[in-house]
């Protein structure tokens, strides 16, 4: 479904990503673990068209999307839930969801109304807060809204950057349950970036570990849970 092949990217004079390759199969949940500054967010931005890669390719369903503008990448079926949620603070919950509509929203059976119904089932709190402004939501509700906003675009795959950041354990456990349920009901795949290795290892089908812009380990969660590379990446040593 998603293939990242030899990706290099950076900012001005600094190279951050060095030859990153990874794949996410249809309906798979793949996690990328790594310490602060490992380049996880840069990888997400390079995949979703927010940062132009310096080399390498990003393929969705076998077709290159590397050089497409971000909005065309969303239209192809790759949605990005950014680190820090980035919801629109001056718009209501409903307006945040309206902004995310694409042609695919209306191509899907039931259109926008069906997308809203799905969001309501997954996150009843958002339905209760429909007319509240984005800034008045709690961190957990903002994360729900950011995921809901991605879903409205009817993606095949979602890039999810640090969904647990700043959330209380009960709240992020609920978030991970919602992610598993989205995958189970709609077959949407996820590439999840996390610093919370324990949660990520629990939900993921496959895991990559990043250190200083490179993939330093990859494997099944059960295997990586025993791996010293994860510990090292987290301690940054
Ligand atoms: N806009 C930018 N301009 C210049 N350098 C940047 C920019 N964004 C990130 N960097 C640098 O790129 C490197 C990787 O940052 P990135 O945000 O991708 O890491 P990360 O793994 O997502 O970290 P975190 O866990 O803190 O979110 C860091 O050295 C960071 O300082
Ligand atoms: Mg980051």
Which is it for strands 2-11 and 14-24: parallel, antiparallel or unpaired?
A: antiparallel
How confident is the model at residue 214, as a pLDDT? 96
CB 170 within 8 A of CB 178: no
pLDDT score at 223: 86
Buried b (16+ CB within 10 A) or exposed e, 76-95: bbbbbbbbebebeeeebbee
Residue whose CA is at the smallest distance from ligand 1 atom 30 = 37
Choosing among 3.30.300.30, 3.40.50.300, 3.40.190.10, 3.40.50.740, the CATH entry for 2-86+155-235 is 3.40.50.300
pLDDT of residue 228: 74
Q: What is the pLDDT of residue 40?
A: 96
For residue 227, pLDDT beyond 80 = no
* Residue 13 beta carbon below 6 angstroms from any ligand 1 atom: no
pLDDT at site 12: 93
Contact criterion met (CB below 8 Å) for 179 and 194:
no
pLDDT band per the 50, 70, 90 thresholds, residue 70: very high
Percent of the chain at pLDDT exceeding 70: 96
Per-residue confidence (pLDDT) for residue 226, from 0 to 100: 79
Any idea what DSSP says for residue 166? T
The whole-number average pLDDT for the span 33-44 is: 94
CB-side neighbour CA atoms (13 Å) of 120: 10
The stretch 23-35 carries a mean pLDDT of 95
Q: Where are the alpha helices (DSSP H) in the chain?
A: 40-48, 70-76, 93-99, 103-107, 111-122, 124-128, 139-152, 169-186, 197-203, 221-224, 228-235
Q: Residue 167 and residue 155: Cα distance in Å, rounded?
A: 25
What is the pTM assigned to this prediction? 0.94
Residue pair 191/215 in contact by the 8 Å Cβ criterion: no
Cβ 40 under 6 angstroms from ligand 1: yes
pLDDT for 46: 97
130 phi/psi in degrees, rounded to 5: -40, -45
69 confidence band (pLDDT: 50, 70, 90): very high
pLDDT, position 225: 77
Q: Is the pLDDT of residue 72 over 80?
A: yes
The ligand 1 atom nearest the CA atom of 43: 18
Per-residue pLDDT tens for 116-174? 999 999 999 999 999 999 999 999 999 999 999 999 999 999 999 999 998 988 898 89
> Quick one: which H or E segment has residue 63?
strand 63-64
Does 205 score more than 80 pLDDT? yes
Interacting residues of 12 by C-beta distance below 8 A, sequence separation 6+: none
42 lines ligand 1 (CB under 6 A): yes
CB distance 45 to ligand 1 below 6 Å: no
Can you give the pLDDT at residue 237? 43
Show the CA angle centred on residue 209, arms to residues 203 and 210, nearest 5°. 135
Q: Which ligand is nearest to the CA of 39?
A: 1
Distance of alpha carbon 24 from alpha carbon 28, whole angstroms: 6
Per-residue pLDDT at 229: 65
Mean pLDDT score across all residues of the chain = 93
CB 213 within 8 A of CB 14: no
∠ CA(172), CA(173), CA(175), 5° rounding?
A: 60
* Closest CA to ligand 1's atom 7: 11
Ligand number with the minimum distance to the CA of 16:
1
CA distance 44 to 38: 12
Distance between CA atoms of residues 126 and 130, nearest Å:
6
Rounded to an integer, the average pLDDT of 29-44 is 94
Q: What is the pLDDT of residue 233?
A: 63
What pLDDT, on the 0 to 100 scale, is given for residue 234?
Answer: 62
């Amino acid at each position: 479904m998603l293939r990242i092949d030899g990706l290099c990217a950076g900012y001005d004079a600094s190279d951050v990503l060095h030859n990153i390759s990874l794949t996410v199969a249809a309906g798979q949940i793949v996690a990328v673990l790594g310490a602060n500054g490992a380049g996880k967010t840069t990888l997400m931005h390079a995949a979703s068209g927010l940062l132009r890669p310096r080399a390498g390719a990003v393929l969705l369903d076998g077709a290159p999307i590397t050089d497409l503008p971000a909005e065309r990448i969303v239209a192809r079926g790759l949605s990005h839930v950014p680190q820090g949620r980035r919801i629109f603070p001056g718009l209501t919950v409903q307006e945040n969801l309206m902004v995310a509509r694409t042609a695919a929203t209306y191509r899907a059976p039931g259109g926008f109304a069906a997308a809203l119904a799905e969001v309501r089932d997954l996150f009843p709190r958002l339905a209760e807060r429909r007319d509240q402004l984005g800034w008045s939501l709690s961190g957990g509700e903002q994360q729900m809204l950011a995921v809901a906003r991605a879903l409205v675009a009817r993606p095949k795959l979602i890039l999810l950057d640090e969904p647990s950041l700043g959330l209380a354990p009960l709240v992020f456990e609920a978030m991970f349950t919602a992610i598993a349920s989205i995958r189970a009901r709609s077959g949407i795949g996820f590439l999840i970036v996390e610093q919370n290795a324990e949660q990520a290892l629990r939900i993921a089908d496959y895991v990559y570990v990043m250190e200083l812009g490179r993939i330093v380990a990859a494997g099944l969660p059960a295997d990586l849970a025993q791996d010293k590379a994860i510990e090292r990446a987290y301690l940054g040593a």
